[in-house]
Amino acid sequence: MVMVGVSSKAVVIAPILLRRSNMFARNRLQRHYSNTARLSGILHHEWIVEGKVVSNTEIDKRRTVLFLHGLLGNGKNLRSPAKRLTLAHPSLSALVIDLRGHGLSHQPHTANTTQRPSTPASPHTIQNCAQDIIETVQALNLTGTDHSPIGVVGHSLGGRCALQYTHQLLKQQQRQPDGTSTTATSTTVCSPKHTWLLDTVPGEAHGSVAQVVNAISSVPMPVKNKKELVRILTQEKGLDLAIASWMTTNLKKSQSDVGFEFIFDLDVAQSILDDFPNQDFCGMVQDCLVAAQGGNKIHLVMAGKNSAWTEDIIAQLQQMNSTMADHSRLEMVSLPKAGHWVHIDDLEGLMNVLERGFE
């Protein structure tokens, strides 16, 4: 693991005080949740506690870390780091979320299970993805200074959503035009103390991403089986075997129960992908560092084998960080052994980065 920044000294994360407030004691019965999103309009999610996926959790006893997957993925992709983190820190719970148009959030639950709800309203932008997350967190009563998620971990697209989530919440907490401060209430979602961005490269998506989206968009659905999908993607569409195999994890039984179809909504995924260049990634990082006033930290975890991390991008981030009074609020770490899927290629290195936030 290589620390990247303007100083050669390792970044030390200050201990986090996990506080509780008696004012929430009366709400304990309301803070016991199922692992399925049965409230209309919220994203599908699952709880992980002490290394296990659980049917419910009593969040009064734990602080929550959100986990957000990448494009064309689903929450299950990040189960491994979520399980490892909650095993190492039993005081934490993980909330693993399916983003809009992905996983089971493509068909979210409602109180009336006979209705099939529509995909969240367009436009399908990163900003609206982040708003979905905020509304889901709020609907689950993860609010107030003692219960708002303490951290958010996002891989690739999930990192963009994590940054947008933190940015939107910090902006909401900034001073009002009349000079008064925004006061957090029991229904306010507060900004996380830590935001981890896993191989989230600023700017346009790499050309290979568009190639994958184009390839899977041209596959006739349903497919007979997973083996057939791999054959089509590798032999006819020219995709790498590893990517083709990964795509089989995004299949479900077709509605006609004949063959398989993708679990995500390709139109939504394409719209989100088109929004990548519109996100002012570096500007938002800077805004977060300034607005946080030392209370929040951003951790940028870069895959050492990902050539998209150019010298210019790294230099821009380092230059921006050098203007901050406290350089430790932005941690830039390179995992030399890892490709884009850092949570698979170097899980140990990633866990070292995550767990430093809770030392």
Q: How confident is the model over 171-195, as pLDDT tens digits?
A: 887 755 554 556 667 889 999 999 9
pTM of the entire structure?
A: 0.85
The number of residues in the chain equals 359
* Radius of gyration, CA atoms only, the chain: 20
CA distances 222 to 217, 243, 258, Å, are 12, 19, 7
CB 141 within 8 A of CB 31: yes
Please name every residue paired with 197 in a beta bridge, in sequence order, or none if there are none.
Answer: 154, 300
C-alpha torsion 178→181→182→186, nearest 10: -140
Which alpha helices (DSSP H) does the chain contain, by range?
79-88, 126-139, 157-173, 207-217, 226-231, 241-247, 266-274, 281-292, 311-322, 342-345, 347-356
CA 198 – CA 203 distance, rounded (Å): 15
| Rounded-to-integer distance, Cα 96 and Cα 79, Å | 7
Q: Which pLDDT tens digit goes with each residue over 193-229?
A: 999 999 999 988 888 888 999 999 999 999 999 999 9
Cβ contacts of residue 107 below 8 Å, gap of 6+? 116, 117
Instruction: Specify whether the CB–CB gap between 43 and 161 falls below 8 A.
Output: no
Q: 85 near 105, Cβ under 8 Å?
A: no
Dist. CA 255–CA 98, nearest whole Å: 20
pLDDT at 30: 39
Strand partners, 335: 303
Q: What is the SS3 assignment for 132? A: helix
Q: Look at residue 22 in the predicted model and tell me its pLDDT.
A: 33
What would the pLDDT profile of 129-188 be if each residue is shown by its tens digit? 999 999 999 999 999 988 999 999 999 999 999 999 999 999 887 755 554 556 667 889
Would you state the pLDDT for residue 255? 83
**d(Cα 294, Cα 270) in Å, to the nearest integer?**
36
